[in-house]
């Protein structure tokens, strides 16, 4: 049975053991990111870096059928002093980094507009699914600022330096099919297919050995930040972590006994 937990601006739904769906829950504001949203994100995702417990996969999406998130709430920011803006942006950074540093896989299910900070948070996830009507943009330069929640780095790693410069320096929006062609998103789906497909992938991930999944994610993420020789060392160190686990023994035993493995995350 699903369980719902509503924070100030997020809805957290436990789909089944090990799998949750986190929803931006301000549909009347196109799920714009205010301070409370980012504090809620920080609270939900922060522990997942080091203490994920039994959680095995997370889906991040938006309430309603119009927007994943339209980005930072500029109405809230109206009249802020420079210091207030800096402090508020630090909270945005913390929320983005909490998603990025999650040891548990996070799937972005983009159900509509993903502009500015909304696009950046989607890019902080491990991969992105999007509806056919989704649109993306990093339009910050049109407001005298620039992406500051990982956008300049995550986008360039997804689509390449030259494409990222074109997107960020122009601020122009682009559609889901363009994002798919550039390698930014993994699949383009009809609206009624989005969450079922995200759940299908999440359940597949959740059925795998959780320590192995987390270590593989770590090896990919950290390895891409360095040279190949160092990355191969990161990979083998991650591999070594699993040799003595119960899950490794269970996986081999289940294969030889011709049955599905039962992984316990230890």
Chain-wide mean pLDDT for the chain? Answer: 94
Topology given in CATH for the domain delimited by 3-206: 2-enoyl-CoA Hydratase; Chain A, domain 1 (3.90.226)
Element (DSSP H or E) covering residue 68: strand 67-69
* Mean pLDDT value across residues 143-165: 96
> How far is CA 16 from each of CA 3, 4, 259, rounded to the nearest angstrom?
8, 11, 22
CA atoms of 135 and 10, how far apart (whole Å): 22
SS3 state at 163: helix
Element (DSSP H or E) covering residue 137: strand 135-137
CA atoms of 87 and 123, how far apart (whole Å): 23
Element (DSSP H or E) covering residue 179: helix 176-182
Q: Record the pTM.
A: 0.92
Tens of pLDDT, residue by residue over 200-212, are 999 999 999 999 9
62 forms bridges with which residues in the sheet? 24
CA atoms of 150 and 240, how far apart (whole Å): 30
> How far is CA 11 from each of CA 82, 107, 186, rounded to the nearest angstrom?
31, 16, 25
Token pair belonging to 180? 């798919």
75 has pLDDT over 90: no
Q: Catalytic site residue 235?
A: no
Annotated active-site residue in 84, 93, 120, 193: 120
Annotated active-site residue in 140, 161, 193, 257: 140
Check residue 92 and give its pLDDT: 93
CA atoms of 39 and 19, how far apart (whole Å): 22
| CATH number of this structure's domain 210-256 | 1.10.12.10
1 has pLDDT over 70: no
**What are the structural domain ranges in the chain?**
3-206, 210-256
Q: Catalytic site residue 120?
A: yes
- CB atoms closer than 10 angstroms to residue 252: 11
5 has pLDDT over 80: no
Among the listed residues 225, 136, 117, the one whose alpha carbon sits nearest the alpha carbon of residue 185: 136
């Amino acid at each position: 049975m699903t369980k719902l937990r509503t924070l100030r601006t997020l809805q957290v739904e436990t789909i089944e053991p090990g799998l949750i769906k986190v929803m931006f829950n301000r549909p009347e504001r196109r799920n714009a990111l205010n301070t409370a949203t980012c504090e809620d994100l920080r609270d939900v995702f922060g522990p997942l870096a080091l203490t994920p417990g039994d959680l095995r996969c997370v889906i991040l999406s938006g309430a309603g059928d119009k927007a994943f998130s339209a980005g930072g709430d500029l109405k809230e920011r109206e009249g802020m002093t420079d210091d207030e803006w800096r402090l508020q942006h630090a909270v945005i950074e913390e929320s983005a980094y909490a998603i990025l540093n999650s040891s548990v896989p996070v799937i972005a299910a983009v159900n509509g507009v993903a502009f500015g900070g909304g696009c950046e948070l989607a890019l902080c996830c491990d991969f992105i699914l999007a509806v056919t009507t989704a649109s993306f943009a990093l339009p910050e330069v049109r407001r005298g600022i620039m992406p500051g929640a990982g956008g300049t780095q995550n986008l360039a790693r997804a689509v390449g330096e030259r494409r990222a410069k074109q997107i960020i320096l122009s601020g122009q929006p682009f559609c889901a099919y363009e994002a798919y062609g550039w390698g930014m998103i993994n699949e383009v789906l009809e609206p009624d297919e989005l969450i079922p497909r995200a759940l299908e992938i999440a359940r597949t991930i959740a059925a795998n050995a959780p320590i192995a999944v987390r270590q593989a994610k770590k090896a990919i993420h950290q390895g891409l930040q360095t040279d190949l020789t160092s990355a191969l060392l990161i990979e083998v160190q991650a591999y070594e972590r699993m040799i003595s686990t119960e899950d490794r023994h269970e996986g081999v035993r289940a294969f030889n006994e011709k049955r599905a493995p039962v992984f316990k995350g230890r």
